[in-house]
C-alpha cells in the first residue's frame, strides 16, 4: 500500500473516531430535547421510543404559563449580566494596571489573585455567607453578584493581563505622544486589541453565574429571588417524584442562552483560551 493510501486511511480513521466521540457526547443533549417533546404516556414506556410518536410543545407551555420559571429565568439573567459587567469593568482596569504599571507588590498581588482562584469554592461558603450577611444583601440577587464576582474576577484578571501584555506598549506610547490621555489611550488602543480576551472573559463569567448551584442555594431562600438551577430543582422535584417532562423542557430552555452565546463567540473563545494559556 502506498504512502498516499496510508495517509488517507489514517485521516479517515481519525475523522470516524472524532464523529463517534461527538455522537456519544451529543446523545444526552439529544435525549433531553426528545424527552421534552414526548407526551407523558411515552416517557416511561418500555421499550422506550427514540423519537416521540406524538410530539408536543405542551410541556413548554405549562412551564412558561403555570410555573414561576419565567421569574427564575429573569433572576438568572439579571445575576449573570450583572456579574459579567462588574467583572469586565474591574477586570479590564485591574489587568491594565498589572500589565502596564510598575509598583511595589505588583507581582505579589498578581499571585495572590491567582491563589484565590485556586481555592475550592466550597471551602469559603461560610466566610462569604457571613460577609454577605454583614453587608445586608443576603437573600437578594446582589448577594450572588457579589459572590460570583469573587470567583470569576481572578480568572478574568489573569486572562486579560495576558492579552494586554501582548499588546506592544509603543502603540499606547504613540497615542500619549499625540496628545491622548491615559484613559483615552486605554479605550481607543487597548480595549479594541484586547477584545477577544474581553469576550472570552465575559462568556466564562456568564456561564459561571448562569449555572452555579451551591451558592445560589445557600445565599437565597426567598422563592421569587431564586435563580434557575435552584428554582427549577425545587419546583419540579420532590422526595417521591420527578416531573421529567417539565424538567427536560426547563433544561432545554436553560441551555438555549448558552448555546447561542457559544455559537456567536466560539471563535473568540478558542482564541482567548489559547492566548491566555501561552502568555503571562
Q: Is 126 in the same domain as 172?
A: yes
Residues above pLDDT 70, as percent of the chain: 91
Hunting for cell 453578584 — which residue is that?
Answer: 145
Q: How far apart are CA 111 and CA 161, in angstroms?
A: 12
Do 35 and 62 belong together in one domain? no
Nearest to 31 by CA among 260, 215, 252: 252
Is 49 part of a structural domain of the chain?
A: no
**Per-residue confidence (pLDDT) for residue 49, from 0 to 100:** 77
In a domain, 230, yes or no: yes
CA distances for 35 relative to 26, 70, 259, 277, angstroms: 14, 21, 19, 39
For 182-233, what is each residue's pLDDT tens digit? 888 888 888 888 888 888 889 889 999 999 999 999 999 888 899 999 988 8
Please tell me the predicted confidence (pLDDT) of residue 268: 64
Residues 154 and 261 in one domain: yes
Label residue 278 by pLDDT band (50, 70, 90): very low
Q: Which of 53-62, 72-81, 233-242 holds the top average pLDDT?
A: 72-81
pTM over 0.75: yes
Residue 54 has pLDDT above 60, yes or no: yes
Q: What are 104-160's pLDDT values in tens digits?
A: 777 777 777 777 777 787 888 888 889 999 988 998 999 999 999 988 888 888 888
Scan for cell 504512502, then name that residue. 3
Are 114 and 84 part of one and the same domain?
yes
Mean pLDDT calculated for residue range 167-175: 82
In the prediction, which pLDDT does 247 show? 84
Is 177 within a domain? Answer: yes
DSSP lists the bridge partners of residue 242 as 237
Q: Which domain range does residue 39 map to? A: 3-43
pLDDT at 177 over 90: no
Assigned C-alpha cell, 142: 446582589
Amino acid at each position: 500500500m502506498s504512502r498516499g493510501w496510508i495517509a488517507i486511511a489514517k485521516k479517515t480513521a481519525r475523522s470516524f473516531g472524532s464523529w463517534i466521540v461527538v455522537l456519544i457526547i451529543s446523545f444526552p443533549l439529544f435525549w433531553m430535547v426528545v424527552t421534552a417533546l414526548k407526551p407523558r404516556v411515552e416517557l416511561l414506556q418500555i421499550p422506550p421510543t427514540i423519537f416521540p410518536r406524538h410530539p408536543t410543545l405542551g410541556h413548554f407551555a405549562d412551564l412558561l404559563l403555570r410555573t414561576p420559571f419565567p421569574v427564575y429565568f429573569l433572576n438568572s439573567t439579571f445575576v449573570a449580566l450583572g456579574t459579567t459587567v462588574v467583572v469586565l469593568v474591574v477586570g479590564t482596569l485591574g489587568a491594565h494596571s498589572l500589565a502596564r504599571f510598575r509598583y511595589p507588590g505588583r507581582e505579589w498581588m498578581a499571585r495572590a489573585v491567582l491563589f484565590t482562584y485556586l481555592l475550592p469554592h466550597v471551602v469559603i461558603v461560610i466566610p462569604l455567607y457571613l460577609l454577605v450577611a454583614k453587608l445586608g444583601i443576603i437573600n437578594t440577587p446582589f448577594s450572588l453578584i457579589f459572590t460570583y464576582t469573587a470567583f470569576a474576577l481572578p480568572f478574568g484578571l489573569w486572562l486579560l493581563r495576558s492579552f494586554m501584555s501582548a499588546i506592544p506598549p509603543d502603540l499606547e506610547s504613540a497615542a500619549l505622544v499625540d496628545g491622548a490621555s491615559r484613559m483615552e489611550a486605554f479605550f481607543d488602543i487597548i480595549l479594541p486589541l484586547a477584545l477577544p480576551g474581553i469576550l472570552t472573559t465575559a462568556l466564562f463569567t456568564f456561564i459561571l453565574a448562569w449555572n452555579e448551584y451551591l451558592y445560589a442555594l445557600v445565599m437565597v431562600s426567598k422563592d421569587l429571588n431564586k435563580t434557575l438551577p435552584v428554582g427549577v430543582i425545587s419546583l419540579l422535584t420532590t422526595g417521591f417524584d420527578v416531573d421529567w417532562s417539565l424538567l427536560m423542557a426547563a433544561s432545554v430552555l436553560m441551555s438555549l442562552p448558552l448555546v447561542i452565546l457559544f455559537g456567536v463567540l466560539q471563535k473568540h473563545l478558542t482564541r482567548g483560551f489559547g492566548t491566555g494559556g501561552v502568555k503571562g
